[in-house]
Structure 1
Amino acid sequence: MADGKPTLHHMNNSQSQRILWLIEELEIPYNLELHRRVNQRSPPELKETHPLGKAPQLVTGDGRVIAESIVIARYLIETYDKTGKFQGDGKKNDWIRDDQLCSLAGASIGPVMIVDLILLFAAKMTPFFIRWLMSLVHSQIRSQFSGPEFDLYYRYLDDQLEGQDYFMGSSPGRADFIISFPVDQCMAAEMIDIKKYPRVEKWHARCQERPAWKRGIEKGNGYNLGFV
């Protein structure tokens, strides 16, 4: 951008909320472009800045466009976190742990979450006189597949929080920002019972009490992941 500030292209009710949170934590000057979903899809203007047309997108100060939350978060932290506050507090909270937890959120929890969301959407779109059948199919798949998978991953996440407030130590790190979205989505769509994972539940509440999270919610254009 001409002013040298990064620009975040942010869409309502999407994973870009975690990047808005991160930028607010970094307390850097930035530009914010707000976009709204159209029929639950990304608006066409997002393809003007990146061919995938998804959010978030970060346009760097020198005009490079970065897509994908994990990469955007890494760029922001490595570029602007001069004190290392959001890079883990050492020992086990290092880059290996950070990469592993980010990968877990995207490559393990993410696909199971998408399957569950597709089935929820299919049940919603099915004609009402056979909707019960699709709901039954979803219930069986959740019972036999997605439910046990979620339980495996969330028990692991719960264990990873033992003895520390955030996944990367005493302050949130990239893994915390990235994991926040699947946890938000799974809770909103009632894919999990967060009470079964008390450390994750406390971590989630702790994240949403942070002033930067609250500022991100205020500056964004909506963050409702409930399935309506």
Structure 2
Amino acid sequence: MLTVHHLQNSQSERIPWLCEELEIPYDLKLYERDPILAPASLKALTPMQASPVITDEETDPDFVLSESGAIVEYIIHKYGSGRLALPPSHPDYADYLHWFHFANGNLQPAMSGLFRVAVTDVDPEHPIYNLAANAVRKVLAHVEQRVGEATWLAGDEFTAADVMNFWSLTGMRVFTPLDLSGYPNILTYMERIANRKAYKVAMEKGDRGRESCLGGPPPKVFAGLGKTYTIFL
């Protein structure tokens, strides 16, 4: 049985959501933040001490895989018959590759970088703050343009590229509380995903009761930090 070890309110939401989209069986094990990072029981699973993590007894009783991109590809090709990935023969293959890797190559690092700067109370006029804020402006502008010209990130088809990027626009905003009101195409795109049955089911199973981060105004700052701060773009 495939087991998904999911740290709640984290990018590991990609994995149960993917399983729901592919309609494959999985066991979901939930972990709460302690208070910000993963608890010791989840940290013990991998050297990086973070989620997401999967174990797969069908492959090997000792099988453990981390890194969300690797997990997504593993599940798609081992259990999903390649569904939600585009093959090299597909006309949108290059776009699929770009956006699949954009999530952890640009979007999430930019959001995380601004979070780290803001939470340390760096003056918004400081060059380091401006550098972090500019990185976020750039990635959001890129996404805004793309979802204004295409229904999904890879093109006309919903793919794993959408699964990979979405949490950075939603749950990550609890840590980097951006107001997306100035990005109408992103908001429309987020609404399309929020209405997908598989996404709703995955959120109900893994993150029930989590504050909604689907609208334009920023959500509340994550309470586990014990402080409040404002993001300036």
Identity between Structure 1 and Structure 2 (%)? 24
The alignment of Structure 1 onto Structure 2 pairs a total of residues equal to 210
Q: Would the aligned equivalents of 2:20 and 2:202 in 1 still touch at CA under 8 Å?
A: yes
What is the identity, as a one-letter code, of the residue corresponding to 2:52?
Answer: P
Bigger RCO of structures 1 and 2 (CA < 8 A, at least 6 apart): 1
Listed as ranges, the matches of 1:1-228 within 5 Å are: 5-60=1-56, 61-63=58-60, 64-82=63-81, 84-88=82-86, 91-94=90-93, 96-123=94-121, 134=122, 137-138=123-124, 140=126, 144-185=130-171, 187-189=173-175, 192-222=178-208, 223-224=210-211, 226-227=220-221, 228=223
Question: Residue 85 of structure 1 contacts residue 171 of structure 1 at CA under 8 Å; is this kept in 2?
Answer: no
In 1: Cα distance, 2:165 partner to 2:23 partner: 21
The structure carrying a bigger helix percent of its residues is 1
TM-score, length of structure 2 as denominator length: 0.78
Residues 157, 200 of structure 1: 8 Å contact kept: yes
* Structure 2 residue runs without a partner (length 5+): 214-219, 224-233
Runs of 4+ with deviation above 3 angstroms:
88-92, 138-143, 185-193, 221-226
Deviation, 1:51, is: 2.5
- After superposition, the C-alpha distances for 1:41-69 in whole angstroms (9 at most, x for unaligned) are 21111133323221110112313211011
- Pair 1:139–1:35, CA change in 2 (3 A): farther
Deviation of 1:17 after TM superposition, in Å, equals 1.0
Query: What code does the residue aligned with 1:122 have?
Result: T
Whole-Å Cα distance in 2 between the matches of residues 162 and 81 of structure 1? 29
8 Å CA contact 2:76–2:83 kept in 1: the answer is no
In 2, Cα distance between equivalents of 1:22 and 1:171 = 15
Structure 1 residues 199 and 221: CA distance shift in structure 2, 3 A: closer
Q: Please, what TM-score do these two structures have when normalized by structure 1?
A: 0.80
Structure 1 unmatched runs, 5+? 124-133
